[in-house]
Structures are given as C-alpha cells and as structure tokens.
A and B are shown apart, each in its own frame.
Chain A
Amino acid sequence: MDVSREIAQRINRESRIVATEWDGILAGLLAEKYDAIIGSMAITPTRQESVDFSTPYYHSGAQLFVHRDNPDKVYSISECNGLRIAVVLGETYQHFLEEKFPDVEVVTLKSAAEIFAMLEQKRITGFVTDRLVGAWQTKEAGRPFVPVGEMLYKERIGIPVRKDNPDLLGQINTALAAMEDDGTMQRIHQRYFGLGKTSSSKLGTMEPSVIATKLLKGFAVSLGIALAALLLGFVLAIPSGLLLTFQRGSLKPLHFLVRGFVDFIRGTPVLIQLLFVWLGLGLSPFPAAILTLGICAMAYMAEVIRAGLMSVDPGQDLGARALGLSPLDRFRFVVWPQAFRIAIPPLMNCVVALLKDTALVSIISIPELIREAQSIISVTFEPGLYYLIAGLMFFAVTFPLMKLSDRVERSIKAKGFAHD
C-alpha cells in the first residue's frame, strides 16, 4: 500500500485502489480494470509472457511457517512428506511444492485469513508463503506462527503492467530507482517487516459499530443488485416466456432464438457468465453484475412464465371464446391473469435464487455482503462467526419469501386455477 501510494505520487498519477481476488488479478490487469498490480507478485517466465514486470523492488522467497507449538515437529519442508501444507490459491508456491515436493499434501485455500484459521486450529501443519509477507501478516495478526528452515527458493518481486503500456513501465521503474536511492524503500521495509519492532497491533480488532456498518452496507449493496437484476429480468422474462410458449407462424424464428438463449443461460455456470460479461465484454463491475444476474433471472423466470401459461386449462380460452371475446382479450383478461397467479410462487423462488446468486459478484470486486464479511475476517480472523452472520442475513430475507411463496401456492390451489 505504501509502495503504491509512493509510486503514484512520484509518477503524478491518481492511485485508485481496487480490491480484487488474487486468483483473477492478472486477468483484471489485462482487461484494463487497473493498470498495475503492487502486491508482492513474483516475477516468473510464465507471467512474463503476458505482462511486463518492473525492476524487482524487493527480494524475498518462499518460506515455511508452522505453529509455535509445532505438534508435527517439522523444521524444514523436506520433513513435511504426507503432512498438510497450505498455500493461497493461484500463488506460485502451489506449483513449486507440487513439483519439488510431490509428497507434501498441498492444501489450496482462498486467503491468508483462511490459512491462519486452519493453522490456529492445527488442522494443517503449516503454510508456505512469501517470507516477508508471511512474517508481517503473522506479526500484525498476533498469531503464534514462526518461520522454520531455509527459504525454499528466492524470488524477485516486481510490478506487472500490460505489455502495451511501456510508458507506465518506464515511469514506475524511474520511481522505484529513486525510492531506492533516497532510502524511501528502506524506510517502508523497516516499517513493515522490521525485526524485533513490536508495534501495537491495529489488526485483530475492529469496532463493533464499524463491523455492523460494513455488514449492513454490504447487504444493502447485495439487495440493491438483486432488485435491479430482478426488475431487468422480469421485464425481459414476460416477452421471453410468451415466445417460449407460442411458436406459431412468424414467431417461429424468434421462438427458437429465445429457446436456445434460455437453454444456454440455464446450462452454464453464472460465475462464467459473470466473468464473461465483466472481463469478456469489459463492463464495469456494477453494470456487469446487474446485467448478468438480470439475464440469468430472465432465463429462469421465462421458463416459469411458460409453465404458468401451459398450466392454464385450455377450456378457459374456449370459454372466453364462447362469450365472443377477441383473441387478445382472451389472453389479457382470462389466460394471462391465471398464468401469472400460477407463476407467482415459482417466481418468488427465482427471487430467492437471485438473492443468493448476488454472493457471486464478490468475485468481480463489488463490495457486497460476502466481500465485506471477507474484509472483516481479514482483520478479525473469525471466518466462522462472520460467514455465519452473513448467511443469517440472507436467510432473514429469503425465509419469509419462501414462506410467503408456500402460502400463495396453497391459496392458488384452493381457488382451483391450474389444471393438472
């Protein structure tokens, strides 16, 4: 963070910090979501194929950390055969361990917070991470973890930028050189990794009011996205549902188009759709989230509307015809009102599913509930508690919806709508 602020200042650029998941971080860079990554990324030949790296700004390496109690009595990675060693998903250590120490059982976790929680409970023997980063995180979190053994290997940490952006690369390299020369880099290192210096930890605690605000704000974002996606999805679902049901004459091509699209959406993971819209189509996170979840809701709701239309007794249309009503009036006043009532309970279930799917958009760095929970957990290291709270917040909204849906369904049955 300090390095990034310092560099931004020196190259006269506005630094806007974008939080994102580690495992998609390079993809985001290539998709121009941000211009550089300052986050202890090791320079590797594979990565160099897709991005350019600045000159290394520090040297570090892979280090094994274990619990101070060290119940497995290991003092180097070579003693870890058959033991569980954790790494963060997507980091270079994973491949390194799998290649060089194939007998170690590598456990891939999503974040340092998860690793720390696991090691605290002694469910893993230790973890491998960057020596400096690991030392800093352990100290700041006040965890009883210690580095053991030699560094597994040494690596150089650089700042990746896109290959089409040599100007920025040059500016960053100049800034790094200057920071090295005037001792800024030295000071930053001292502050973060300085040995023996015990600073009173700002991490590990968070004001309950701050936590509550974060959770509520996150949930408001989740609900807002769900609502926007719901509106979009519903508006699109009605014509789509009609086209799925009626396939006469000139509607035929449209029918097959919608049929294919709906099948495709229903048959692919929402996560892939989300990443496609975000990175593939290059939309910014909020529009990408609303569009993806909206289209997805549309597909499911269109099916529900189709099923509703199909389950209206054909005798209803006939009865309306016997009274002389025009085809449009028959649909408007007789068939559709019944189809829609039949569709209400399953539509409400779609809303529940949509609400739950908002959790996925945390992956494209939208500060919704899950992401806020993760950010709280990264400070408090209490994943059990905060994921439970986040789950309960969802449940507080979905549970009444599910109950309501049951009641509506019963009342519709009692009124004798759908024929079966």
Chain B
Amino acid sequence: MIEVQNVAYTYADGTKAVNDVSMTFPEQGIFAVMGLSGSGKTTLLNCIARFLSPQQGAILLDGQDIQDMKEVDFRQQVGVVFQHLNLFPHLNVLENMMLALERVQGRSKSEAKAEAMDILKRLNIGELAANYPAQVSGGQAQRVAIARGLALKPKFMLLDEPTSALDAATTSDFAQWLRELQEFTSFIIVTHDLPFAEQTADQGVFMAQGQVQEQGRLTEVLQNLDRC
C-alpha cells in the first residue's frame, strides 16, 4: 500500500505544482491519477517515484517513509515508465530487460535471458525480443517499457501518460492488455485520457491545479466530474 500524506511540491521557480495532496493506492488493482495537462500529475508521480522530494508531507510504502528506504530496495518495489519510455536504443528488447536483472538483481546472463524471455512471452510480446526500440511501433514500445519495469517484479508500477503515443484503436487493445497484467503488480496510471482511465482503472483521483478534486471509485469520480 502506498499512502500519500499532505504532499506539496514547489519548483525552484516558485510554481506550486502539487499542493497538499493525500491519497491511498491499494495493494491490488489499477488506480488512475487523472487531470488536465498542467494539473500536477507528473510532478506527483516523480514524488512517488522519489525523483523529487516533496517540501511538505510524506509518502509511505507499506508504512515506511520512502525517503528512508535504500535506493536498490525502493527501485525494486516501485517501478516507473516515463511518458517518453526511455528505452535504451542501443540494446534490443531482450537486452533492455536483461540489464536490471543482471546488474541490479545479480542474475547470471543466462538466467536473466531466460527470465526476460519468459516475461515477454507471458505479456504476448515474445516476438519482439530481438528488435531494437527504433524497430517497434508506439504501442509495442509502450508494452516493452512496461515489461522492462515488470522484470524486477515491483509491488507498484507507475505509468505516465501511457496512451500519449497511441491512437484510439490501439488504446483499447492496450487497455485490455493492461487489465490482464493485474496479476503481476498493481498499477498507478497517470493520464489525462479519461476514456482510457475508464477502460482500465477501478479507482482514481481527479486533480486540478495541484489539488485533488474528486476521489473514489472510477465511475463515481467520472460521474461527479460530469455534473460539474
């Protein structure tokens, strides 16, 4: 469980991007952090992923303040896929996945290879193993980036705008695919794409101007938004 408690983040230039935000991400399921562009979603994600330290409040992972955790432990429990994916262009898909298995978890090359191949197959993208990132489509790249994060078997997986490079048709395929991954981990999806959130998430928050505007079961959140 991740608990965000009264978190506020202000950038060096004075922009108050996240302003006293609290929310709880459950152990199971898909959680959506929604909001218009500029509402502070990515900033919040960077706080949860420990790339930014909030000036106020705390973020707890299973009751422990994430600031107190060791880097390697934290990274293996909370995975992130950035909006731009940041796949390594000089490595093929399999090698992209093997790197952390070898260097962070200390697996041997052959172990890492078998493990990575196994995950790719279970995610139905085994045929991409030998391709380089430049050779796969936007939707495939998104899946590969998620697969790469899942290789470390994190408890939580943060996705920033996963549909930004997808068109409508591939988006529903992708939503379907993502729902099947719930057995691996729980997802926190940051998105401004409400139809996509509706297709995937069970619960969510809607942010506006750095604050939580609506919160709860996804259908309720969306209904309340419609009323406004």
Residues B103 and A319 in contact, CB atoms below 8 Å apart = no
Cα separation A269 to B86 with both chains bound (whole Å): 43
The complex places the Cα of A325 from the Cα of B100 at a distance, in Å, of: 7
User: Would A315 and B82 count as touching, CB distance under 8 A?
Assistant: yes
Q: How far apart sit A237 and B214, CA to CA, in the bound complex (Å)?
A: 56
- Collect the chain A residues with CB atoms within 8 Å of residue B85's CB: 319
Determine whether the beta carbon of A323 is less than 8 Å from that of B134: no
- Given A323-B75, A324-B71, A333-B103: A415 in contact with B90 (beta carbons within 8 A): yes
B82's contact among A319, A333, A337, by CB below 8 Å, is which?
A: A319
Q: Which of chain B's residues has its CB closest to A336's CB?
A: B90
A78 smallest CB distance to B (angstroms): 75
In chain A, residues 267-321, which have Cβ atoms closer than 8 Å to a Cβ of chain B?
313, 315-316, 318-321
CA–CA, A207 to B90, complex, Å?
Answer: 54
B162 interface residue (CB < 8 Å to A): no
- Contact status B99-A333, CB under 8 Å: yes
A36 to chain B minimum Cβ distance, whole angstroms, is: 61
- Is B104 in contact with chain A by the CB < 8 A criterion? yes
Instruction: Kindly state whether residue B88 has any CB partner on chain A within 8 Å.
Output: yes
Q: Are B89 and A416 in contact (CB under 8 A)?
A: yes
| B99:A415 contact, CB within 8 angstroms | no
Number of interface residues of B (CB under 8 A): 27
Which residues on B sit within 8 Å (CB–CB) of A325? 99-100, 103-104
Which of A313, A326, A416 has a CB less than 8 Å from the CB of B134? A416
Question: Within 8 Å of chain B (Cβ to Cβ): is A341?
Answer: yes
Scan B46-87; emit 1 where CB is below 8 A from any A CB, else 0: 000101000000000000000000011001100111101111
Choose among B89, B132, B149 the residue that contacts A322 (Cβ–Cβ < 8 A).
B149
Question: When chains A and B are docked, how far (Å) is the Cα of A416 from the Cα of B134?
Answer: 6
Fill in one digit per residue for A339-358: 1 if any B CB lies within 8 Å of its CB, else 0: 00100000000000000000
Residues B152 and A323 in contact, CB atoms below 8 Å apart: yes
Q: Is the CB of B76 within 8 A of A324?
A: yes
Task: Given A414-B134, A415-B132, A416-B133, answer yes or no on A324-B100 (Cβ-Cβ < 8 Å).
Answer: yes
Distance in Å: Cβ of B103 to nearest Cβ of chain A: 5
Number of A interface residues in the complex (CB < 8 A): 22
Interface of A (DSSP majority class):
helix
Q: Give chain B residues whose Cβ lies under 8 Å from the Cβ of A321.
A: 51, 75
A417–B75 Cα gap in the complex (Å)? 25
Which residues A133-161 have CB closer than 8 A to chain B? none
Identify which of B81, B88, B103, B152 contacts A329 (C-beta below 8 A). Answer: B103
With an 8 A cutoff between CB atoms, is B148 at the interface?
yes
In the complex where A315-B84, A325-B103 touch, is A417 in contact with B148 (Cβ < 8 A)?
no
- Residues from chain A with a CB closer than 8 A to the CB of B71 are 324
How many Å from the CB of A224 to the closest CB on chain B?
A: 33
Identity of the chain A residue whose Cβ is nearest the Cβ of B103 in the assembled complex: A329
Among B120-172, those with CB < 8 Å from A are 132-134, 148-149, 152
Smallest CB separation, B160 vs chain A (Å): 11
- Closest Cβ of chain A to B205, distance in Å, is 22
B72, B90, B104: most-surrounded residue (chain A CB, <10 A): B90
Best-buried of A322, A337, A415 by chain B (most CB within 10 Å): A322
Q: Does A334 contact B (CB under 8 A)?
A: yes
Contact A313 B133 (CB under 8 A): no
| Contact A324 B104, beta carbon cutoff 8 Å | yes
Q: State the CA gap A321–B152 with chains docked (Å).
A: 13
A318 contacts which chain B residues (CB < 8 A)?
51, 82, 86
Q: Which of B76, B86, B104 interacts with A315 by CB under 8 Å?
A: B86
Task: Give complex CA distance A114, B89 in Å.
Answer: 56
Check if A338 is an interface residue, CB within 8 A of chain B. Answer: yes
Residues of chain A lying within 8 A (CB to CB) of residue B87:
319
User: A322 and B49: CB pair below 8 A?
Assistant: yes
Contact of A415 among B49, B79, B89, B103 (CB under 8 A): B89
- Extra inter-chain contacts (15) besides given A323-B79, A338-B88, CB under 8 Å: A315-B82, A316-B88, A319-B85, A319-B86, A319-B87, A322-B49, A323-B75, A323-B104, A323-B149, A323-B152, A324-B72, A324-B104, A329-B103, A416-B89, A416-B133
Q: Can you list 19 A-B contacts with CB-CB less than 8 angstroms, sorted by A residue number? A: A315-B84, A316-B88, A318-B82, A319-B88, A320-B99, A322-B49, A322-B75, A322-B86, A322-B149, A323-B75, A323-B100, A325-B100, A325-B104, A326-B103, A333-B99, A334-B88, A341-B90, A415-B89, A417-B90
